Structure 1
Amino acid sequence: MKYRKLGNTHMKVSEISLGTWQVGGGWGGDFDQSAASKILHTAIDHGVNFLDTADVYDAGLSEAAVGKLLKERSEEIYVASKCGRQISPHTSEGYTVEALRGYVEDSLKNIGIEALDLIQLHCPPTEVYRRDEIFGLFDRLKDEGKIKHLGVSVEKVQEAQMAMAYPNVKTVQLIFNMFRQKPADHFFEEAKQKNIGIIARVPLASGLLSGKMNKGREFEENDHRKFNREGQAFDKGETFSGVDFDRGLEAVEALKEVFGEKEPLAAWALRWILMYDEVSTVIPGASKEEQVKANILAAGHPALSQEQMEAVKSIYDTYIKAEVHHLW
């Protein structure tokens, strides 16, 4: 495992880390504590030292599983959680200093720690990024020893740019993958100039970039890849990166022509992200131990050639760009 500096924080984090949205065994269904434990321990066994969770993942069970892991390991493990998505309806008016403080304190209790290494606003409405009192709260929480750093998880590049205007924002988490290339246009350079850490989420476009899906693939009713295709529950960009499923499959076939069948497409998709030095860490999820191991191995793949990078860009321009680039 290789490690990169997370912006101007105190953390040097694993290039491939772990997102815990599906750590209980997958999207939908009952939370499997045994599966979560195996996945988390496998990640740490293979050099992962950064875990990204949220209070709404499996209604707090994901956070609790991370807390259990911390009690069972001696390694230094950095924990990032997120707050705000419990607010319903999810509007700017629902974001209050009192509510967010409560969420942070609840997460600390749930994980069983005194301070979060990183707390992130969890994709709030755009208007929240204009509210100084919300960002000021986290300075006080830091002074109180409850958090070490503040970050934001965003849907849109514009929101990331707005957040970086606040000096206490140290990291930005956003969707970045072969099917969501807009952040590389200008934002990465802006973040680099401000020494902001970048956390790349949804790196495999909800499994599309695994290369294992086909048009006949069925998803469970409580899987967001079934019920959120058009953003019925949350921003549709979180599901297949906002790409039409059938169109995405066509692009995947074109990518397979570039990379061949010797190695899984997922490995190349992760390695492609790491070609961007501005990215501090990639946080693929996993519902099985084998997926954790495969994701980590991807970091050791050889660098993509210039020809391969250009081919990925061409496929994006041909199949994907017109549909998604302007939206996020």
Structure 2
Amino acid sequence: MKQRIFGRTGRSVSEVGFGAWAIGGTWGEVSHEDAKSALHAALDAGISFIDTADVYGDGRSEKIIAEVLNERGGERPFVATKAGRRLSPHVAEGYNAENLTAFVDRSLENLQTDTLDLLQLHCPPTEVYYQPEVFAALDEMQAAGKIRAYGVSVEKIEEALKAMEFPNVTSVQIIYNLFRQRPAELFFQEARRRNVAVIARVPLASGLLTGKMSATTAFSADDHRAFNRNGEAFDKGETFSGVPYDVALDAVEDVRQYVSGDATMAAFALRWILMADAISVVIPGAKNREQAQANARASDLPALSDETMAAIKAIYQQKIAPWVHQRW
């Protein structure tokens, strides 16, 4: 497993991480044992970065992570969590010192730790990025030792660029994949300039880029791929990267021809993301041991050729960009 430096923290982490949304909820049923098995497999494969949130299964994901890490003992991996989406209603005014402190205290308890490696604001309303008092509250928690570092998880490029103006923002988590290529423009340039770590989320476009879905694929009622295609529950960009399902399936077939050797399409899609040196870690999810092991193997794939990179860009520009490029 190859390593990358996580921005200004100076800490080395695996370039492929473990996204723990799926073991929490809204991805269909994942048993407790399957969730633990997936995480154990990821850690056995050399993954040393875990990303979760307090709302994934209402704390279930954080608690499973704590359980697994306690079973394993030894050096703990880097564990990042998020806060803010527990607010109801989810409004900018809720991002205050009192609420954020309560959320952090709950995550500390769930994760059974004294300090959070990284706390991320969890896709807050855009106006939060224009409120210095929110980031001052995070500074206070950092000074108090509750968090080692903090960052943001964003929906829009605008939000990422604004967040990085606050000097102690250590990381930005953003959707970046074959179907969401806009971050590679101005945002990556600014992140490198400021030495801000970049976490690539939704790397497989909610499973589309595994190449295993079709027009007849069925999703359970509690799977966001069934209930959030038009943003009914949260930002539609989180589901299939905001691309209409039929459009995406067509583009997937175009991509398939560039997957060579014994590589899976999922591993190819992850390797494409890792071609960007601005990326600190990519965080695919896994619902079982086999998926976790397959994700980890992406780090072993050779670099993609210039010709392949150009072909993927052309597919994006022709078929995907009109649907997503200027939206986020």
Category of TM-score, reference length = shorter chain: over 0.9
Aligned residue number for residue 265 of structure 2: 265
Q: CA RMSD in A?
A: 1.2
**Are 1:2 and 1:14, in contact at CA under 8 Å, matched by a contact in 2?**
yes
1:44-71 CA distance string (max 9 Å, x none): 1110111101000011010001111221
Are residues 1:303 and 2:280 paired? no
Are residues 1:187 and 2:184 paired? no
Are residues 1:227 and 2:214 paired? no
Q: TM-score, with normalisation over the residues of structure 1?
A: 0.97
SS where residue 303 of structure 1 aligns?
coil
Taking the aligned partners of 1:124 and 1:250, their CA distance within structure 2 comes to 33
AA of the residue aligned to 2:37: K
1:91-110 equivalences under 5 Å are 91-110=91-110
AA of the residue aligned to 1:45: D
Taking the aligned partners of 2:122 and 2:254, their CA distance within structure 1 comes to 34
Taking the aligned partners of 1:298 and 1:52, their CA distance within structure 2 comes to 18
Taking the aligned partners of 1:126 and 1:15, their CA distance within structure 2 comes to 29
The structural deviation recorded for 1:28 is: 2.8
- Change in CA separation of 1:43 and 1:262 when aligned onto 2, cut-off 3 Å: closer
Structure 1 alignment gaps of length 5 or more: none
SS where residue 8 of structure 1 aligns?
helix
Greater than 6 Å deviation, 4+ residue runs:
none
Taking the aligned partners of 1:265 and 1:111, their CA distance within structure 2 comes to 33
Aligned residue number for residue 18 of structure 2: 18
Aligned residue number for residue 63 of structure 2: 64
1:160-197 CA distance string (max 9 Å, x none): 00100101100000000000000001110110000000
Aligned residue number for residue 315 of structure 2: 315
The structural deviation recorded for 1:35 is: 1.4
**How many corresponding residue pairs?**
327
Aligned residue number for residue 118 of structure 1: 118
SS where residue 37 of structure 2 aligns?
helix
The structural deviation recorded for 1:36 is: 1.6
Q: TM-score, with normalisation over the residues of structure 2?
A: 0.97
Taking the aligned partners of 1:63 and 1:25, their CA distance within structure 2 comes to 12
**Are 1:25 and 1:32, in contact at CA under 8 Å, matched by a contact in 2?**
no
Are residues 1:77 and 2:116 paired? no
Higher alpha-carbon deviation: 226-235 or 69-78: 69-78
1:158-173 equivalences under 5 Å are 158-173=158-173
Taking the aligned partners of 2:251 and 2:261, their CA distance within structure 1 comes to 15
1:274-295 CA distance string (max 9 Å, x none): 0001100000000011011111
Are residues 1:32 and 2:31 paired? yes
**Are 2:18 and 2:42, in contact at CA under 8 Å, matched by a contact in 1?**
yes
Aligned residue number for residue 156 of structure 2: 156
The structural deviation recorded for 1:89 is: 1.3
**Are 1:170 and 1:196, in contact at CA under 8 Å, matched by a contact in 2?**
yes
Taking the aligned partners of 2:275 and 2:41, their CA distance within structure 1 comes to 25
Structure 2 alignment gaps of length 5 or more: none
**Are 2:96 and 2:137, in contact at CA under 8 Å, matched by a contact in 1?**
no
**Are 1:25 and 1:35, in contact at CA under 8 Å, matched by a contact in 2?**
no
